[in-house]
């Protein structure tokens, strides 16, 4: 059905950028499939084990940008052993071998070795952008290779990675000829950096828009950097400790005032709270503020700062802001869309400084709120119902009551009705995380109302298999389901195994599913990998099908069993 020559269609497809849309386009007919695949430059792979690098390369020879995700989400919380998998090396090796013109690589929860980074740095002449989120396995030596060899590097963005810091000279490895940097984020590195090299690098990077420093960068260096880069849009401050009466502080004030383009501010990894006034001049323009690594900033100093931030759209903060502080947010930040409140004292539930009150205040004051991550001491049904009424636009709603299974403290009821109100009101809800005391009822509501739900995280909830069944039957768009410590067993798991092929993955740990149940899924669905993770070696000694499985992770795949699983992972 080609009314146009291929080049015309290709040009039309250029305007289609979303992965979902391009995937749809490729399904229309053979001819469109062919044109689409040759013109595709950006590919997103949500589970690195769902496809092999060879097949990826075969289908998309023009690949320039690859996004890969490795470990399951619960790996973030230490539920997945270290060497479970998610190695990027085979991907880089395959891409290098086939001479793909890779320019951008974005990885999340993957194991990245120095060897991979070195190979990456030497194999792709036009490599421009490396983004690593929540990865591990590399050291600053690997970063040195990237700095030294990627001549046209524009972006090096390291977010919350565990990096073995050799306190090396990696920053000095950027050659004098490297002037193309647009984004440099090394906030997660714990070691010293060569400050002189940093200053020189920033000086010769006129396009630098985003700079996030680590703790080792002191205030006077910050001031020098800002003087050289007043065009910055995104700034992450390392150390912010200084004497308010010093020359350095005055210089800093001047430097900050020149930075009229800063819209995003983060860091304050070390902070002297009495010196925040230097920041006020840029607060009025901020759209993103991340103070979630600055426990030293709280009370009045914090509130004063927030009061200057009238244009804020995204706020990441620690719970030491308190309900009262959230009230200030509600009064000031009328444009707020995303709020994340992290616990400053994760292991002492009683110390969590925010409750349902803070959330209600924000929901009332910030009608544009659509994304929430909220760690709190307690929650009530009444509050959730109010929030649901105030903010029907939630796309992401993640609530974590620090004390697992805690009921509504006022009524002692489970939080079924509260979460039920959220899913009923927020018709566009795509992601939901539940906590507190919950029965099967909440899952009935979710199955009934959460039509757009794509990701659901459940912990310490439900009474029976019914809970899981309500969700599997009701949520047609479900892609990722992760469950821990719930009484869901084989009956729920096996009710509709075909469903799992429509999803990216299912994680179940500390539930009631048995080895026999998992085997059954694997048998019926060859297109799924069903992995049993068992570090305690119980499986080895007791192959009884009735044995409860500690951790099960299943995912759809086109390439069968992976070959790199460690000993304690059984692929059924």
Partner 1 sequence: MVFEKELNLDATELRLGLPGSSEESLRISNKRALPDMNDDSGVAAAKKCDQETAPPTKAQVVGWPPIRSYRKNSLQTKKTEAETGGMYVKVSMDGAPYLRKIDLKVYKGYPELFKALEDMFKFKVGKYSEREGYNGSEFVPTYEDKDGDWMLVGDVPWEMFINACKRLRIVRGSEARGLGCVV
State the residues that interact with partner 1 by CB under 8 A. Answer: 74, 76-79, 134, 160-162, 188, 218, 241-244, 270, 272, 274, 292-293, 295, 342-347, 349-350, 375, 400, 402-407, 412-414, 433, 437, 439, 457, 459-460, 463-464, 484-487, 510, 536, 548, 550
d(CA 196, CA 318): 33
CB 92 within 8 A of CB 53: no
Report the DSSP pairing between strands 480-484 and 505-509: parallel
| Nearer CB in complex with partner 1: 13/186 | 186
**Interatomic CA distance for residues 211 and 232, integer angstroms:** 7
Q: How far apart are the first and last CA of the chain?
A: 44
To partner 1, the closest distance from the beta carbon of 285 in angstroms equals 27
Q: Are 532 and 552 in contact (CB under 8 A)?
A: yes
Bridge-partner residues for 267, per DSSP? 237
Distances (CA, A) of 131 to 263, 332, 473: 20, 33, 37
Closer Cβ to partner 1, 192 or 496, answer by number? 192
Minimum Å gap between C-beta 288 and partner 1 is 18
CA atoms of 319 and 295, how far apart (whole Å): 9
Which residue intervals of 429-514 are DSSP H helices? 440-449, 465-474, 490-494
**Closer CB to partner 1, 91 or 240, in the complex:** 240
- The minimum distance between CB 440 and partner 1, in angstroms, equals 9
Complex with partner 1: residue 290 or 363, whichever CB lies closer: 290
DSSP labels for 356-377?
HHHHHHHHHH-TT--EEEEEES
Nearer to partner 1 by Cβ, of 177 and 536: the residue is 536
Strands 505-509 and 551-556, bridge-based pairing: antiparallel
Tell the smallest beta-carbon distance from residue 439 to partner 1 (Å): 7
Q: At 311, give phi and psi (nearest 5°).
A: -100, 10
- Shortest Å, Cβ 65 to partner 1: 25
Query: Least distance (Å) from partner 1 to the CB of residue 101?
Result: 32
CA 228 to chain centre: 31
Nearest distance from C-beta of residue 521 to partner 1, angstroms: 20
Residue 120 Cβ vs partner 1, minimum distance, rounded to whole Å: 22
Q: Identify the three-state secondary structure at position 535.
A: coil
In this complex, which beta carbon is closest to partner 1, that of residue 314 or of residue 406? 406
**Tokens found for residue 274:** 């009495």
Q: In whole angstroms, what is the distance from residue 58 CA to residue 404 CA?
A: 47
How many Å apart are CA 447 and CA 473, to the nearest integer?
Answer: 7
Containing 144, the helix (H) or strand (E) segment is: helix 140-149
32 or 342: CB nearest partner 1: 342
Rank residues 63 and 315 by Cβ distance to partner 1 and give the closer one: 315
Least separation, in Å, of the C-beta of 519 and partner 1? 18
Smallest gap from residue 462 Cβ to partner 1 (A)? 9
Nearer to partner 1, 170 or 342 (CB): 342
10: which 2 tokens?
């290709």
Q: Which CB sits closer to partner 1, 226 or 402?
A: 402
Provide the H-helix boundaries in 475-568.
490-494, 515-524, 538-541
Instruction: Please report how close the Cβ of residue 85 comes to partner 1 at its closest, in angstroms.
Output: 17
Q: Which is closer to partner 1, CB of 295 or CB of 367? A: 295
CB of 255 to partner 1, least distance (A): 20
CB contact at 8 A, 422 and 429: yes
C-alpha distance from residue 544 to each of 410, 495, 512 (Å): 45, 22, 14
Which is closer to partner 1, CB of 74 or CB of 470? Answer: 74
* Contact status, residue 40 vs residue 22, Cβ threshold 8 Å: yes
Task: Write the DSSP assignment of 263-283 as a string of letters.
Answer: -EEEEEEEE-GGGGGGGHHHH
């Amino acid at each position: 059905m080609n009314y146009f020559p291929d080049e015309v269609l290709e040009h039309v497809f250029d305007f289609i950028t979303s992965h979902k849309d391009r995937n749809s386009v490729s399904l229309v007919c053979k001819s469109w499939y062919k044109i689409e695949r040759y013109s595709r430059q950006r590919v997103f792979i949500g589970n690195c084990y769902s496809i092999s690098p060879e097949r990826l390369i075969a289908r998309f020879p023009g690949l320039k940008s690859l996004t890969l995700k490795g470990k399951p989400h619960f790996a973030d919380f230490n539920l997945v052993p270290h060497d479970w998998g998610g190695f990027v090396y085979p991907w880089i090796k395959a891409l290098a071998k086939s001479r793909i013109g890779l320019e951008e690589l974005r990885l999340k929860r993957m194991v990245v070795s120095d060897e991979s980074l070195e190979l990456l740095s030497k194999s792709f002449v036009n490599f421009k952008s490396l983004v690593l989120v929540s990865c591990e396995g590399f050291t600053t030596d690997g970063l040195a290779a990237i700095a030294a060899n990627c001549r046209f590097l524009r972006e090096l963005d390291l977010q919350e990675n565990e990096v073995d810091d050799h306190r090396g000279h990696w920053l000095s490895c950027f050659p004098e000829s490297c002037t193309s940097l647009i984004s440099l984020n090394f906030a997660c590195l714990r070691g010293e950096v060569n400050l002189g090299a940093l200053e020189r690098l920033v000086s010769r990077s006129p396009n630098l828009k985003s700079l996030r420093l680590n703790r080792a960068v002191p205030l006077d260096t910050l001031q020098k950097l800002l003087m050289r880069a007043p065009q910055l849009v995104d700034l992450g401050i390392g150390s912010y400790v200084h004497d308010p009466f010093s020359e350095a502080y005055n210089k800093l004030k001047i430097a900050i005032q020149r930075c009229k383009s800063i819209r995003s501010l983060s860091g304050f990894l070390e902070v002297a709270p009495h010196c925040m006034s230097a920041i006020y001049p840029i607060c009025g323009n901020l759209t993103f503020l991340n103070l979630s690594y600055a426990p030293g900033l709280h009370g009045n100093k914090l509130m004063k700062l927030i009061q200057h931030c009238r244009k804020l759209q995204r706020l990441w903060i620690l719970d030491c802001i308190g309900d009262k502080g959230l009230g200030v947010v509600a009064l000031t930040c009328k444009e707020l869309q995303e709020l994340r409140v992290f616990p400053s004292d994760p292991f002492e539930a009683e110390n969590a400084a925010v409750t349902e009150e803070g959330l209600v205040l924000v929901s009332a004051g910030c009608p544009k709120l659509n994304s929430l991550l909220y760690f709190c001491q307690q929650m009530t049904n009444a509050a959730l119902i109010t929030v649901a009424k105030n903010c029907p636009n939630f796309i992401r709603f993640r609530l974590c009551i620090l004390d697992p299974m805690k009921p509504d403290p006022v009524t002692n009821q489970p939080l079924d009705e509260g979460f039920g109100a959220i899913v009923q009101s927020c018709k566009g809800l795509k992601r939901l995380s539940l906590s507190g005391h919950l029965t099967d009822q909440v899952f009935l509501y979710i199955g009934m109302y959460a039509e757009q739900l794509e990701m659901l995280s459940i912990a310490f909830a439900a009474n029976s298999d019914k809970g899981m069944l309500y969700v599997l039957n009701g949520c047609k768009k479900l892609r990722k389901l992760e469950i821990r410590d719930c009484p869901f067993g084989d009956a729920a798991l096996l009710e509709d195994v075909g469903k799992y092929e429509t999803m990216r993955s299912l994680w179940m740990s500390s539930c009631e599913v048995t080895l026999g149940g998992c085997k059954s899924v694997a048998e019926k669905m060859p297109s799924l990998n069903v992995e049993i993770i068992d570090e305690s070696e119980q499986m080895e000694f007791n192959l009884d099908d009735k044995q409860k499985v500690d951790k099960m992770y299943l995912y759809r795949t086109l390439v069968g069993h992976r070959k790199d699983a460690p000993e304690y992972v059984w692929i059924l």
